[in-house]
Structure 1
Amino acid sequence: MISFSQNATVSNIEEALGQIQEPPNVVRVPVNLRYGGTFGITGALAQFLATWSRSDESAELKLYGNAADADATSALAQEPHGICALYFAKTLAGPTGQQLDVRQALERSVPRILAMQDEQYRDTMGSRGVFLGCFARAKNEFLSPLYATPKRGALLSRSQYVAMTTRAISSISPTAAYQIGDENLAQISHLVFELFKNTDEHGMTDPGGKLYSRNVRGVLFKHIALQHHVPTVGRPASGFGAAMAFVSRVLESKRKFAGEDGKLHATAQTPFIEINVFDTGLGLAKRFSGRDQLEGISVDDEVDIVKRCFQLHETSKEGVDGGSGLTAVLQVLKHLKAFLSLRTGRVHLYQDFSSARAGTIFEPKHWNPSSKQMEEIAGASYSIVIPASQA
C-alpha cells in the first residue's frame, strides 16, 4: 500500500511512482497536507493519482483515521488533493477496510465545485488558497472564472484572466496583491492564461485523440508565510529540493531593520505566492513528439522537446491582452525573483530567478542532477513561487 503522510514532499511522490505496480495497489492520502500542498505538491499528487488510476482497473483509495466514514470522506473532499483522490479512485475503502460508494463520497466536494463556478474564491478549498479544478465529464467541468462558455477552447480573454488572477490573489492575501502590484499581476495572469490554455488544447485527450474519462486541469493559488532564521519549524523539509534552496536564499536575503534594542532584525515572516497550473493529460513530450511512448527518446531529447513546447507560447503581439510573449513574462519572473518548476513525463525541471546570475530565457536545470530520468508521470504541472515583498 502506498501511504502519503501530511508531510509529503516531492521526493515522496517520486518514490511512490515506482511502487504503483506493486500489489496491493492501494493508495492512502491524508486529509491535510503540511504547508497546504504548496511547492507543486498539489499538482504532482494529481499527476500521481491519474497515473495510478490508469494503471489499475480497481485503483482503491483507502481512508485514513478512525473517524466515521462520512466524516472522513467529507474532510477529504474539502481540499484539492482530496477531491482529486476521490475523483481518480475506482473503489473506496474506509479506515477499517469496509467498501464505500465512491460516487457518494465525491458528492461531498460539490459545495467546493459550486464555489469555483460562482467565483466565491475563499470557499474553493479548506486551507488558505484558491483552487479552480476542471474535472473531465463533470457537470461543472468548464468553470466560469476560466471559460467564457462551457466548451473546449472557449477560454476567457487575457484581460479577463488579469481580473481573475488579481481577484484570486487578493482573496487570499490583499497585502501580497498590493505588494506585487497591478503591472506584475497582469504579467503573472498572462502566464496563467498561456499555461492553462495549453492544458485545454493539449491536456484533454489520449494518444488516439479520445477524451480521457478521468482527467483534471487546474489552477491553484496559495499564500505561504515562512519564518526567518528557523532551521526546521516553519520551513519546508529537505524533500522539496531546489524549492527549499530558493526559499532559504530569499529568507536569508531579506532586508533587516533596526529594532528597539538597536540591533538589526529581519521581519518575522516573508510571504510568498504560489501559482500551480497543471493537467493530467498525455504530457508535453508525448504530445509534441507525436509518440505514444517515450521509449526511444533520451532524457536529453525529452528536455529539448519540453523547452520547445515552452517557447511555443511566444507571440509577436504587444501588450498583455494581445500577448507580449513568454520572454516578457520571464523578465517579470526575474524582476520578482521567482522560482519555476515543471514536472512532466520523465523529467522534473526548474529555474531559479532569484540569483543575480539568473537570465531571462528558459534554461531549466534538473530537479535531481544525480538522477535526471524520473518515473514517467501523467500530464504536466507548472509551479511558480513568488516572494510577495521585494524588500
Structure 2
Amino acid sequence: MQLTSSMTLSAAENFLRSVAAGKVGKLQIPTRAKYQAAGGEAAFVQALSTWANSAHPAELVSYAEGPADNVQIDRLVARLYGLVAVLVADSISSIRGPNLTELLQRAALARLAILQSESPEGGSRGPQLEIVCIDHLAKSYPRAFYAQDEEGMRQVKKLPAFNQFASAVVKELVPTELSHSVPAGFAHALGGALHELFRNTEEHGRVNDRGDVPAKSVRGFHARRHSVTPDTVAVLAAEAKPLSDYVARLRPARAGNRDIQLIELSVFDTGPGMAPSLSGRPLASINPDEELDLVRRCFRENVSRKSLSSAGLGLPTVIDLLRERGGFLRLRTGRLGLFCDLGLEDRKPFGEPPELRAWSGPEVELAPVAGTLFTLMFPLGI
C-alpha cells in the first residue's frame, strides 16, 4: 500500500480503515507530506503506531534509491511521521529493493537522541518542536520531561519544569511581532495541561487495553506553527464540516497578509485509550455509547481514576483560555473521533467540560485506533 502524501485527518482515517481490514501489507511511505495544518501529522503518527502493532511483520518501503541516497533518508527521518514510521517498522527496504533497516533506524535514532536531549529544538526544523518516547526501544526518558530522583529512578518532572518548557515552546513558535496574540497566562496554562497529559502517557499509556505491553509503544508531544494559505484552507474545508466551519472564521494575523497563523499542540500515546483506562476493561467489552460516556467523564474535574488527563486543573485552564481565543480541540481515542469548536461555546464556569461532538456523522464508522491523541489549536491574531 502506498501512503498518501496529503496527510489530512480524513486520509489518516482512510489509512486506519485499511489497517483494520488487513489490507495494508508492505507500506510505502512518502518522503514529503503536505496539508497537515489541522493536526494531520500527529494523526498519522497515531495511525502508523496502530499499523505497526497490528502488522506481523510491519514492513516499510522508503523512496530512497539505496544506502547512498542520503537526501531521501535524511528527509524522511527529519519529519515526525517519518521518524516514528522508521522506529516502529520491523523491516525497511528501498524503492529499488535493498534493505535499509539498519541504516534508516540509525539515522532515526541519531535524531531521536537530539529530541530527547536538553535542547530538543536542535532536532526540529522550522517553527515546530517535538518530544518523542520510543518505549519498545528503551528510549523512554527525554530530558525535557524526565529527571532522576534521589534513588536514581527516572520520574516525570514536576509542574514548574513543564511551565518553563511551555514558555520555551511559545517563544519558539510565536514570532515576536505576534507575541501580543498569545493570551496572558497561556504558557502557564499550557504547562499545566501538558504536565497532566504527558504524565498520563507515563502512567497509563505504556500498556494496551488488555494490560499487555504493546509490541510498539510511542508517546510524545508535537507543537507547530502553521501558515495556512488560502489553498490549504480550501483543502481543509473539503475534509470535514468541523474543519470547514472552524477555518471559515479564521482571519490573517496581520493586515495585508493572506495567511492564517495557527498554533497546533498535540500529545499522543499508544496506550489503552481513555475509556479502557478509566473502566479497567478492554475496548471490545465496551459498547460505543458507554465508550462515549466514559470519555466525557474523563474531562470532568477531579475524575476518580488517578492521573487521568482531567485529574487536575491544567487541561480545564487551557480549555478556558481557548474558549476566549477561538481555539479548537480534537480527540481521537478507541473508536471515537470527537471535537469541540471552543470559540463557539458560551462562557462557562471554570472546569466545565467542553461539549464534545462526533467528528463524523453516524453513517461513518471509525476504525479502532491505538492510544489517545489530543490536538489543541488556536489562531494568532484574533
Scaled by the length of structure 2, the TM-score of the pair is 0.86
In the other structure, the counterpart of 2:90 is 90
In the other structure, the counterpart of 1:261 is none
Amino acid at match of 2:323: K
In the other structure, the counterpart of 1:124 is 123
Residues 325/136 of structure 1: CA separation in 2 closer, same or farther (3 Å cut):
closer
Q: For the residues of structure 2 that align with 1:339 and 1:293, how far apart are their CA atoms?
A: 27
Shift in Å at residue 219 of structure 1? Answer: 0.4
In the other structure, the counterpart of 1:350 is 339
For the 8 Å contact 1:63–1:94, the answer to whether it is kept is yes
Q: For the residues of structure 1 that align with 2:74 and 2:118, how far apart are their CA atoms?
A: 22
For the 8 Å contact 1:194–1:313, the answer to whether it is kept is no
The aligned runs of 1:126-141 (5 Å cut-off) are 126-138=125-137, 140-141=139-140
5+ residue gaps, structure 1, are 257-264, 316-321
Shift in Å at residue 74 of structure 1? Answer: 2.6
Amino acid at match of 2:357: K
Amino acid at match of 2:191: S
Q: 1:364 aligns with which of 356, 361, 380?
A: 356
Q: 2:208 aligns with which of 206, 209, 216?
A: 206
In the other structure, the counterpart of 1:279 is 269
Shift in Å at residue 389 of structure 1? Answer: 2.3
| 2:370 is aligned with 1:378 | yes
Shift in Å at residue 371 of structure 1? Answer: 3.5
Residues 289/69 of structure 1: CA separation in 2 closer, same or farther (3 Å cut):
farther
Q: For the residues of structure 1 that align with 2:180 and 2:376, how far apart are their CA atoms?
A: 18
| 2:323 is aligned with 1:331 | no
For the 8 Å contact 1:220–1:277, the answer to whether it is kept is yes
| 2:278 is aligned with 1:288 | yes
The aligned runs of 1:295-310 (5 Å cut-off) are 295=285, 297-310=286-299
For the 8 Å contact 2:17–2:366, the answer to whether it is kept is no
Q: For the residues of structure 2 that align with 1:99 and 1:289, how far apart are their CA atoms?
A: 43
Q: For the residues of structure 1 that align with 2:24 and 2:228, how far apart are their CA atoms?
A: 38
Shift in Å at residue 351 of structure 1? Answer: 0.3
Deviations 1:330-374 (A, max 9, x none): 211111211000001000000011226475532200001234641
* Residues 77-86 or 172-181, more deviating: 172-181
Amino acid at match of 1:43: A
The aligned runs of 1:20-99 (5 Å cut-off) are 20=19, 21-23=21-23, 25-35=25-35, 37-64=36-63, 66=65, 68-99=68-99
Deviations 1:195-247 (A, max 9, x none): 111111111013454433421111001001224xx3x3565432255234312
Deviations 1:235-273 (A, max 9, x none): 54322552343122122xx699xxxxxxxx664333211
Residues 282/16 of structure 1: CA separation in 2 closer, same or farther (3 Å cut):
same
Shift in Å at residue 149 of structure 1? Answer: 2.6
Q: For the residues of structure 2 that align with 1:369 and 1:78, how far apart are their CA atoms?
A: 35
Amino acid at match of 1:367: W
3-state DSSP of counterpart to 2:225: strand
Amino acid at match of 2:295: V
Identity of aligned residues (%): 24
For the 8 Å contact 1:340–1:383, the answer to whether it is kept is yes
Q: Which has the higher helix share?
A: 2
3-state DSSP of counterpart to 1:95: coil
Deviations 1:133-178 (A, max 9, x none): 0110445421111112399871112121111011122123343555
Residues 77/241 of structure 1: CA separation in 2 closer, same or farther (3 Å cut):
farther
Aligned-pair Cα RMSD in Å: 2.8
Corresponding residue pairs, total:
367
Q: For the residues of structure 2 that align with 1:126 and 1:34, how far apart are their CA atoms?
A: 15
Shift in Å at residue 98 of structure 1? Answer: 3.1
Residues 41/233 of structure 1: CA separation in 2 closer, same or farther (3 Å cut):
closer
Q: For the residues of structure 2 that align with 1:274 and 1:333, how far apart are their CA atoms?
A: 12
3-state DSSP of counterpart to 1:327: helix
Q: For the residues of structure 2 that align with 1:308 and 1:166, how far apart are their CA atoms?
A: 30
Shift in Å at residue 130 of structure 1? Answer: 0.3
Scaled by the length of structure 1, the TM-score of the pair is 0.84
Q: For the residues of structure 1 that align with 2:302 and 2:204, how far apart are their CA atoms?
A: 13
Q: For the residues of structure 2 that align with 1:378 and 1:292, how far apart are their CA atoms?
A: 12
Shift in Å at residue 289 of structure 1? Answer: 2.1
Residues 244/28 of structure 1: CA separation in 2 closer, same or farther (3 Å cut):
farther
In the other structure, the counterpart of 1:388 is 380
